[in-house]
Amino acid sequence: MTKTIVIIGAGFAGLQLARRLKNEGYNIIITDQYNFHQFQPLLYQVATARLEPSAISFPLRKVFQNRKDVHVRITKVNRIDTAARQVITQDGTFNYDYLVIATGCTSNFFGNKQIEQYAYPMKSTNEAIALRNRILLNFEDALNATEEELEEIMNIVVVGGGATGVELAGSLAEMKKNVLPRDYHDMDFSKLTVYLLEGAGHTLQNMSSASQARSQEYLESMGVKILLNTVVENYDGHVVQLKNGETIRTRNLIWTAGVKGNVPEGIPETSIVRGNRIRVDEMNRVEGLEQVFALGDIAYMETKEWPKGHAQLANVANNQAKNLAKNFVRMLKGQPLQPFTYKNPGTMATVGKRKAVVDLPFMSFQGRMAWFTWMFLHLMLILSVKNKLMIFINWAISYFTNDTTLRLILLPTEKEVEQAEVHNGINSRDVLPLPVNNAA
């Protein structure tokens, strides 16, 4: 009898696993609350109107339209019954022989409900669209704002100095310099300030000191105000309160400060570790559970080389999925499973046009060559040729004109929001920007 693998999550790991198990003798069910795979490293470019959402999103049924062994189900998982080997969803129950959890991460607000309510995260395409709407509506609001309101509108605060925060702050700074003055001739954008707040003593924690220093130099030269060793204590939609007692008035707080795992209900607490991740062995098997595996950002695997677990990166997720796919084939053949091993190929981040930093195992470099390296590698990771071409064309236009034509404010109707909430449990904040007087 054909065995069934249920994969929860169609991110890098879940998608890679399903693609690698083509015609290997398994029946595969892949579930996700969205009907598309999203390329998260470029979400910030959607948020800043450099790329359309469709350029970095790939319909799952299109990806698997020629695969009779793969069944896509768009639904939200309610819980897992590991004893009965069932995944209970909003649209029914799926039985499995093997379960793979690849649910990734979500923004971590560290228990602060007020920040969670008013800040803008950027972990999904929907959230990136909502942020794009907020940024564009922000300057429409500025046209009729009072002097007091203008101060809040003209401050944009990015919290978190990791790759996402650095890239987003740089993109906003370029938008301030090259785009907004053309669109709004009667506004003075010298008053627009982009803040980057980081709790540590430098940006890009996981990169070399040379890349950390250069990224900070780039951002400061672009006009970004960097506040290091700075922790956000609270935010009410109008005022950011810092732990040192200082405040920043803003209506635009973008949260990239941390992540936590999306652990489905039904996983024993004894299997969950710091960061809300699931502990796995070197074959990605969830410790304490039979026939259950976890991949990617949600998986916490300690090895001799990675005593604190692997970095939550797309490359780790892809390679774990490749190894597990091979192990599933070995299971059918009765062969022993092979442990996952990972060698870090390097890390990189882009700050702006011709400004990027790259760390390789044997060298580190910054500047124009790093920028071209970043663009090439990200372009190669995009799934389809069509999407590669779309992104390349947009990047080429932006390079030569310092502009884009993608600044559309597209708000869903109330009916669409209601349907999304009913069918997928999508919160309306994922797609609707907060109103101007949201914290009044």
Query: What domains are there in the chain, each with its CATH number?
Result: 3-107+260-333 (3.50.50.60), 113-257+353-425 (3.50.50.100)
pLDDT value, residue 421: 65
At 218-229, the pLDDT tens digits run: 999 999 999 999
At 26-63, the pLDDT tens digits run: 999 999 999 999 999 999 999 999 999 999 999 999 99
As averages over each run of 10 residues, the pLDDT of the chain (440 residues) reads 94 96 94 93 93 92 94 95 95 95 93 93 92 92 89 95 95 93 89 95 92 96 96 94 95 93 94 94 93 96 92 93 97 94 92 94 93 93 88 91 82 70 53 38
pTM for the predicted model, two decimal places = 0.89
**Three-class SS string for the chain?**
CCEEEEEECCCHHHHHHHHHCCCCCEEEEEEECCCEEECHHHHHHHHCCCCCHHHCEEEHHHHCCCCCCEEEEECCEEEEECCCCEEEECCEEEECCEEEECCCEEECCCCCHHHHHHCECCCCHHHHHHHHHHHHHHHHHHCCCCHHHHHHHCEEEEECCCHHHHHHHHHHHHHHHHHHHHHCCCCCHHHCEEEEECCCCCCCCCCCHHHHHHHHHHHHHCCCEEECCCCEEEECCCEEEECCCCEEECCEEEECCCEEECCCCCCCHHHEECCCEEEECCCCEECCCCCEEECHHHEECCCCCCCCCCCCCHHHHHHHHHHHHHHHHHHHHCCCCCCCCCCCCCEEEEEECCEEEEECCCCEEECHHHHHHHHHHHHHHCCCHHHHHHHHHHHHHHHHHCCCCCCCCCCCCHHHHHHHHHHHCCCHHHCCCCCCCCCC
